[in-house]
Structure 1
Amino acid sequence: MSTHQPPMPQAAVDATDWRPAPGGPFPGYTSPIPVVRTHLGHALASEWTKIKSVRSTMWTLGVFVLLVVGIGLLTGSLVSGSTSDMSGENPLSLGFFGLLLGTMCVITLGVLTTASEYGTGMIRTTMTACPSRVRVLTAKAIVFFVVAFVVTLAATSLVALAQTSMLDGTPGFRTPTGGEWLKGTVGVSLYIALLGLLSLVVGSMIRHSAGAITIMIGALLAPLVIALFMFSSSLEKVRELLFEYSIPNQLSVFYANSLSNSGPSGWDPLWIALGVTAVAFGAACLLLEKRDV
């Protein structure tokens, strides 16, 4: 039997004779893939791609704009034909009704921005691509807040301009001041965006879309509804507290049309929402670091 073996290919010879060069494990190797240190900008780009690609963003924001603009214009057209004296009413306050209903859409989108990824399992891919969990949550918060603020500002500004135009010269209505314009557009848009951001944080902590949406809608409506049915005189202070700090009342403060004679005023609702959201965001970051994905 012949013991002659065919010669090995040159590539195999090179592979068997390969030795790492001195000075490091692979000092002579250069990766064809560029290695880039990741930062917050990459996470922001990723979250922007997500939020503009999913259908829930278009549906929730579309319904939000429809409610705010539609109810605002309808209210303005109905009041413009009224002959009752409104005693110097601010025409911007008529945008409150559509904005209160539209808030539910922003809350829903905020929850879905985080909780939906846990439902689909997409969060595993997100955390693999960006192991810094706080960075991921921060990027989601920034992108969502900017989107919610811009859309709300556009809708409220359109309604404010339309209502002011329709009610110009109507008895009982006056021309809004510059401060009222600022609170009725920019101020209320910041407040709505913060409510949506709080919903996003709650969605991150609860990790369940339906549960987080239920909690936030309860926080929106429950205090006011409970206060309406507190008839006992012994609960008067509790009733007043619920009225004063309920979200609908804080929202009406931006239109100088509070439901109570005491409680938050001026820009107070904005600072309250900012403080609550900041505390919730800190708690969400701690939970993210301690829990498994």
Structure 2
Amino acid sequence: MTAPQPPMPPQAAPQAPPPAPAPAGAYAQPVPHQRPGAAPMAGYVSPIPMRRATLGDALASEWTKIRSVRSTLWTLGVMVALILGIGVLFSAIAAASGDDIDAGDASPLGFGVFGVLLGLLCVVTLGVLTISAEYGTGMIRTTLTACPDRARVLTAKALVFFLLVFATTVVSTLLVAMIGSSLLADHGLREANGSEWLRGTVGVSLFVALVGLIALAIGTLVRHSAGAITAMLGVVLLPLILTIFMAGETLADVREFLATYSIPVQLFALYSGNSDDISGDVLPFGTWSPVLIMLGIAAAALAAAYASLLKRDA
């Protein structure tokens, strides 16, 4: 008999080859507990090209948002329809009378003020919705997560809104001025000079856009669409309405102040080129006083909006 064979030793399992080293620039896992938004720590290489966000990126984002929502199309469309429709309608009615118009030293551009005054309400609504709609839907958190610099966000919103409203109003008022001048050319009104054309188009557009910026600031402070729009309607209309109920000599100074510096009266003064207030005193900045006064109010309102956005939670 043959001797029993000794048992065979168990074979070792084949070992997997060591992993090949990752090529340069390949994705690596981020370091645990890395704070979001902080500079990349050692050992992390992003596969996506990284660069610092700029104001231009915020402007592009806000332009995409404001032109992609229906409220922008509707409010600006109604505003253009009001400015063109009412301005041309008043000029056509005056021209259809067939007689010379006794309007003192007025120019034919003044008939456009009625449409601009109503179109101003549309600008106020759009200014509020530009930011308050994001608070209503909660999208403001997404916006501030994508761009943690809150001052940059508000700056981008203000610039995009201002330029959009200014450009739209310039085109609308220029068309109304041209059509009105042609309709009223032979009805006793003098021709408007270059300064009146500039105030009646560029000046009025600046005035309207600045009122819209005030509405944007109120929307940032209130953060509620209906409340902010109501507040802005009060700012635009209430001072002039209050003067109707202020009888007596004791309230004469208050009544005169409200009547002089209310938004509708300032808009009429910008069209007429009258630099005097109700009492006959000359306003501090001449015929461009309404624009400069509104610029100061808009700056103060935006300063309050910046302070509120930086300190309050979203």
TM-score normalised by length of structure 2: 0.84
* 1:45 paired to 2:60: yes
> Higher relative CO (CA 8 A, sep ≥ 6), structure 1 or 2?
1
Q: In the alignment, which of 277, 296, 303 is matched to residue 282 of structure 1?
A: 303
> How many residues are treated as equivalent by the alignment?
283
Report how far residue 61 of structure 1 moved: 0.0
Structure label with greater radius of gyration: 2
Deviations 1:125-177 (A, max 9, x none): 10000000000000000000000000000000000000000000112x11001
- Cα 1:9/1:63, change in 2 over 3 Å: farther
2:206 corresponding residue in structure 1: 190
The 2-side partners of 1:163 and 1:249 are apart by: 21
The 2-side partners of 1:11 and 1:219 are apart by: 74
Once the two structures are superposed, the pairs formed by residues 131-210 of structure 1 within 5 Å of their partners are 131-171=148-188, 173-210=189-226
The 2-side partners of 1:59 and 1:88 are apart by: 37
Once the two structures are superposed, the pairs formed by residues 1-293 of structure 1 within 5 Å of their partners are 10=17, 25-26=42-43, 30-82=45-97, 83=99, 84-171=101-188, 173-256=189-272, 260-262=278-280, 264=283, 265-293=286-314
Alpha carbons 1:47, 1:139 under 8 Å: kept: yes
Alpha carbons 1:69, 1:156 under 8 Å: kept: yes
Deviations 1:205-229 (A, max 9, x none): 1111111111111100000011022
The 2-side partners of 1:141 and 1:10 are apart by: 60
- Cα 1:239/1:35, change in 2 over 3 Å: same
Identity of aligned residues (%): 51
The 2-side partners of 1:185 and 1:276 are apart by: 21
Alpha carbons 2:273, 2:287 under 8 Å: kept: no
Alpha carbons 2:256, 2:279 under 8 Å: kept: no
Alpha carbons 2:170, 2:205 under 8 Å: kept: yes
Deviations 1:42-73 (A, max 9, x none): 00000000000000000000000000000001
- Cα 1:291/1:170, change in 2 over 3 Å: same
- Cα 1:43/1:7, change in 2 over 3 Å: farther
Q: Secondary structure at the match of 1:36?
A: coil
Amino acid at match of 1:134: A
Bigger proportion of residues as helix: 1
Amino acid at match of 1:115: S
Report how far residue 103 of structure 1 moved: 0.2
- Cα 1:272/1:12, change in 2 over 3 Å: same
Q: Secondary structure at the match of 1:255?
A: helix
Amino acid at match of 2:157: K
Gaps of 5+ in 1: none
Gaps of 5+ in 2: 1-8, 23-27, 30-40
Report how far residue 281 of structure 1 moved: 1.1
Q: Secondary structure at the match of 2:257?
A: helix
Report how far residue 9 of structure 1 moved: 5.0
Deviations 1:5-62 (A, max 9, x none): 85565577989xxx99xxx831xx6422010111100000000000000000000000
TM-score normalised by length of structure 1: 0.90
Moved more, 281-290 or 151-160: 281-290
